[in-house]
Chain A
Amino acid sequence: MQKKVLSEQALYFGDVKMPKHWEIDSNDLSGYILQSNIRNSEFLFSKTWDKLNTYIREHINLKYKISLVNKNTWGNIYKPTETTIPLKNINPIDLRNSPDFTLLYGVKVEDCTIRIYYEDNRRKGRSWDMPLINNQFIMFPSTNMYIIKNNQKDSLNFVQTITYEYI
């Protein structure tokens, strides 16, 4: 008896383990997120963002042989107790130009949860909750809907999103 996996919905997650003294500067990245949100402008390229993006692309390629190409990036600030509406980063009428993966990175977060919705054949509407903590990432297929919850009452949560396609 044999088995062939035609498609999989995998979550990739973990710490961004940069070399000592080369860690991702969360103050710098949250500054860029704040700037783009206040000015309602595009998220600007920075060396800090490039460190994060390069780390993800190289390590996903090393561990899983998936070559990622950047599609888009932005940062969000979530207010205390805020829960987003269900989010999905594909355009159903333009799948060709939609990303394959969505990556969420905890820039400055406290008690933040990501709920990812998925289908298990006929079992629709299932969900998987994962905490997002500082300097951790979660990457999942962009076809999966998700919500971001800021569970606590005091602090803003800064989350960086990067979307990718794979080649």
Chain B
Amino acid sequence: MASFAKINDDNEVLAVLTLDNENCVNSEGVETESVGQQWLETHNNWPADKWIQTSYNTINNTHTLGGTAFRGNYASIGFTWDSSNNIFWPPKPYPSWVKNTTTASWEAPVAKPALTAEQNAQNTKPDAATPSTHMWGYDWNEDTQSWDLTDTYA
């Protein structure tokens, strides 16, 4: 199986389709992107160069099954294809966030603080039957350009 993202002229992902292997292998039986693109052009009424192969098992530039990551992230509707970095980017979460091409993810301009040992302990269930007392975490505040400590149980 091979997945392809359909993109428009603005490089926005419109749809993601999955092909049978037989539709994207060349005459020597090797999976080839251009063969899949041509098949999609013929059957889906959209130009071949606007179909970009994507990997189901790649997220944040890591292959979840231990293989080689491919194009940063598995594409999804609303993602953007970046041909210069060869990465599918998810929508930018905040205007101030910037691309990290190593992890294929968006990063805040200020690093997220770590929770203290006490906060981590309070987030942890004492046992299976007892809920934790807090759920501490940090949320990005675009107005103040900083991380706000929040307790979702509060």
Contacts and interface: CB of A to CB of B under 8 A. Distances in A.
Interface in A88-118: none
B77 interface: yes
A60 to B, nearest CB: 11
Interface of A: 17, 19-22, 47, 50-51, 54, 58-59, 61-62
A19 B46 CA distance: 8
Contacts of A21: 47
A129 B125 CA distance: 61
A62 B77 contact: yes
A25 to B, nearest CB: 12
Contact of A17 (B9, B13, B46): B9
Interface residues of B, number: 13
A19 B9 contact: yes
A78 B9 CA distance: 33
Interface in B1-56: 6, 8-9, 12-15, 45-47, 50
B45 A54 contact: yes
A21 B13 CA distance: 20
Nearest to B50: A19
Contact of A62 (B12, B45, B46): B12
B131 interface: no
B88 to A, nearest CB: 14
A59 B14 CA distance: 7
Contacts of A50: 45
B45 A19 contact: no
